[in-house]
Structure 1
Amino acid sequence: MKAIQYHRFGGPEVLEYVELPDPEPGPDEVLIETTAIGVNFPDIRERLGVYNRADTRVGGVTLPQVGGLQVVGHVVRSGSAAHDYLLGRKVMALMANGAYAQRAVARADMLVELADDADDVAMASVACQGVTAYLALRVCTTLRRGESVLVHGAAGGVGSLAVQIARMLGAGMIIGTASSDDKRAFALSLGADHAIGYDYPRWPETVLHYTEGKGVDVILETIGGEVFDQNFTCLGMLGRCIVIGSTQGPGEALAPRRLMAKAQTLTGVYLPAFFQRPDMIQRALHFLRDGIAQGMIRPTVAARLPLSRTADAHAMLERREARGVIVLDPRA
C-alpha cells in the first residue's frame, strides 16, 4: 500500500510517499481501506516533534511514523470474529496515528458505521475536531438549553464545529471570536449570533454588553496568551471555561481563588486522554454522523488533495491558508 511516513522531525519536506506492507489488525481492531483522510493541526505538531518535548507532557511519537488521526473507508479485515459484522461496511474512524495510508488500522470501539451514500469527504473532515468540540460541550461541561457560550477561534476547525454543535444543543446565545472580518462573517454564517475580534483590547466589555452584564455561561478557550486571563472578566456566575488549546501560548497562571468569587469552573480537553473512554468517543462520532446527515452540521472542507501531496496540505495549514479541513484522497 502507499502511505505517508517520516523518519525524522522537521518541516513538510520530511514527509515521504512510500510503499509499506498492509498493517495487521489486532484482536480489537479492523483494517480499513481508506477513501478519504482528514488532516489536522495535531498531525503537524507530531511531525515537528513538539510532543516529544518533556515540557508538553502529552506523550511522544515513535519514529518512523505514519501520521494522521481520522479516516473514512470500508472495513476489509477484522482482527477477531467478534467484529466480522463490520466487513464491507463504510465507517468513520478516529485513531492515534496511521491514517495517512491506503489501508489503516482502527479500534473497533472508536469508529461508527456510515450509510453507503454518506459523503466520504465531509465525514472524513470532522472526526478529530468535531469530537473535541462535542466533548468540550457535552462531557467536560454540559451546555444546557438557553445558556450562552463564547467560542474563541470560531472560524477554525474546532471552533466552527463548536458553533454548530452549540446551536444543535439549544444554546441561547453564541458569541464567536475571530481575527478578521472575513472569519467573523464566516462564524455568523455558521450560526453565531455575534462575532467579535479577540485582538480588540476591550472585547470582554462587548461580551458583557451582549449578555446584559451577566457574562457568558460557557467559554471554549483556544487562544491563550492574555486572552486566557481576559476570559474571566466576562465569564458569568457558575460559568465554565474549557481550555482546548492556546495558539498564543499559555498566558499567566490563574490564581485558583479567583474562581471562588463567582463559583466558576476551569477544565480542559485533550482528545487522546479520551481514548481510554471509547464510549464517549463513540457517542461523539454518532452525534457528528447524525448531525451531518440531518444537515445541521456543515463541514468546511478547504481542499481535497491526493495522498501523495500530504506535504502540501501541511504547508497550507501552517501558512493558515486553509479555512476548514484539508482532506486527502488515497486513491488519486
Structure 2
Amino acid sequence: MKAIQFRSFGGPEVLEYVDLPTPVPGPGEVLIDTSAIGVNFPDIRERLGMYNRPETRVGGVTLPHVAGLQVVGRVSETGEGVDPGVVGRKVMALMSKGAYAQQAIARVNMLVTLDEMANDVAMAGLPCQGVTAYLALRVCAHLQAGENVLIQGAAGGVGSLAVQIAKAMGAQLVFGTASTESRRAFVRGLGADHAIAYDTPQWPQRVLELTAGRGVNVILETIGGEVFDQNFECLATLGRCVVVGSTRGPGEALAPRRLMAKAQTLAGVYLPTFFQRPALIREALEFLADGVSSGVIKPVIGATLPLSETALAHALLERREVQGVIVLDPNL
C-alpha cells in the first residue's frame, strides 16, 4: 500500500510517499480501506518533533512514523473479537496514528458506521477537531442549553466546529473571536451570534456589553498569551474556561485564587487522554455524524489533495493559507 512516512523530524520535506506492507488488525481492531483522510495541526507538531520534547509531557512518537488521526473508508478485515458483519461498511474513525495510508488500522470502539449517502470528504474533516470541540463543551465544560459561550479562534478547525456544536447543544448566545474581518464574517456565517476581534485590550468589555454585564458561562480558550488572562474579565460567576490550545504560548501563570471570587472553573482538554474512554469518543463521533445528517453541522473543507501531496497540505496548513480542513485522497 502507499503511505506517507517520516524517518526524521523537520519540515514538510521529511514526509515521504512510500510503499509499506498492509497492516494486520489485532484484537478489537479493523482494517479500513481509506477513501478520505483528514489533516490536522497535531500531525504537524508530530512531524516537527514537538511531542517528543520532555516539557510537552505526552510521550512523543517512535520513528519511522505514519501520522494521521482520522479517516473515512470501508472495513475490509476484522481482528479477533470484532463482529465480521462490519466488513464492507462505510465508517468514520479516529485513531492515534497511521491514517496517512491507503489502508489503516482503527479500534472498533473508536469508529462509527456511516450512511451510504454520506460524503466521504466532508466526514473525513470531522473526527479530530470535532471530537475535541464536543468533549471540551459537553464533558469538560458541561455546557447547558440556554448558556452563553465564547469560542476563541472560532475561524480555526476546532473553533469553527465548536461554534456549530454549541448551537446544536442549545447555547443561547455564541461569541466567536477571530483576527481579521474576513475571518469574523466567516464565523458569523457558521452561526455565531457575534464575532469580535481578540487583538485589542477592550474585547472583554464588548462581551460584557452584549451580555448585559453578566459575561459568558463557557469559554473555549485556544490562543494563550495575554488573551488567556483577559478571558476571566468576561467569564461569568460559576463560569467554566476550558483550555484547548495556546497558539500564542502559555502566557503568564494564573493565580489559582483568582478563580475563587466567582467560583469559576479552569479545565483542559487533550484528545489522546480520551482514547482511554472510548465510549466518550464514540458518543462524540455519533453526535457529529447525526449533526451532519440533520444539517446542523456543516464541515468546512478547505482543500482536497492527493495523498502523494501531503507535504504541500502540511505547508498550506502551517502558512494558514486554507480556511477549513485539508483532506487527502489516498487514491490519487
TM-score, L = length of structure 2: 0.99
1:314 aligns with 2:310: no
Matches within 5 A, 1:285-296: 285-296=285-296
Aligned residue in 2 for 1:185: 185
1:301 aligns with 2:269: no
Q: Distance between the aligned counterparts of 1:241 and 1:216, measured in 2?
A: 10
CA drift of 1:59 comes to 1.9
CA drift of 1:83 comes to 2.6
Structure 2 residue matching 1:82: 3-state secondary structure: coil
Structure 1 residue matching 2:45: 3-state secondary structure: helix
Aligned residue in 2 for 1:63: 63
Structure 1 residue matching 2:83: 3-state secondary structure: helix
Q: Distance between the aligned counterparts of 1:194 and 1:311, measured in 2?
A: 36
Q: Distance between the aligned counterparts of 2:70 and 2:284, measured in 1?
A: 14
Q: Distance between the aligned counterparts of 2:83 and 2:22, measured in 1?
A: 19
Aligned residue in 1 for 2:4: 4
Q: Which consecutive residues of structure 2, in runs of 5 or more, have no partner in the other structure?
A: none
Letter in 2 for 1:9: F
Q: Could you tell me whether the CA contact under 8 Å between 2:222 and 2:244 is conserved in 1? A: yes
Q: Could you tell me whether the CA contact under 8 Å between 2:29 and 2:82 is conserved in 1? A: no
Q: Could you tell me whether the CA contact under 8 Å between 2:28 and 2:81 is conserved in 1? A: no
1:84 aligns with 2:87: no
Aligned residue in 1 for 2:53: 53
Letter in 2 for 1:84: P
Q: Which consecutive residues of structure 1, in runs of 5 or more, have no partner in the other structure?
A: none
Aligned residue in 2 for 1:256: 256
Matches within 5 A, 1:202-281: 202-281=202-281
Q: Deviations over 1:81-115 (max 9, x none)?
A: 53312101000000000000000000000000001
C-alpha RMSD of the superposition? 0.6
1:101 aligns with 2:94: no
Q: Distance between the aligned counterparts of 1:259 and 1:49, measured in 2?
A: 34
Number of aligned positions between the proteins: 332
Matches within 5 A, 1:30-179: 30-179=30-179
Q: Distance between the aligned counterparts of 1:18 and 1:197, measured in 2?
A: 43
Q: Distance between the aligned counterparts of 1:266 and 1:201, measured in 2?
A: 22
CA drift of 1:142 comes to 1.4
Change in CA separation of 1:214 and 1:81 when aligned onto 2, cut-off 3 Å: closer
Q: Distance between the aligned counterparts of 1:245 and 1:86, measured in 2?
A: 36
Q: Could you tell me whether the CA contact under 8 Å between 1:122 and 1:299 is conserved in 2? A: yes
Q: Distance between the aligned counterparts of 1:72 and 1:251, measured in 2?
A: 37
Structure 1 residue matching 2:289: 3-state secondary structure: helix
CA drift of 1:27 comes to 0.7
Q: Distance between the aligned counterparts of 1:90 and 1:47, measured in 2?
A: 29
Q: Distance between the aligned counterparts of 1:73 and 1:309, measured in 2?
A: 19
CA drift of 1:225 comes to 0.3
Q: Distance between the aligned counterparts of 1:286 and 1:77, measured in 2?
A: 22
Structure 2 residue matching 1:139: 3-state secondary structure: helix
Q: Distance between the aligned counterparts of 1:147 and 1:56, measured in 2?
A: 33
Q: Deviations over 1:225-281 (max 9, x none)?
A: 000000001101000000000000001111111000000000000000000000000
Letter in 1 for 2:257: R
Larger mean Cα displacement after TM superposition, 55-64 or 65-74: 55-64
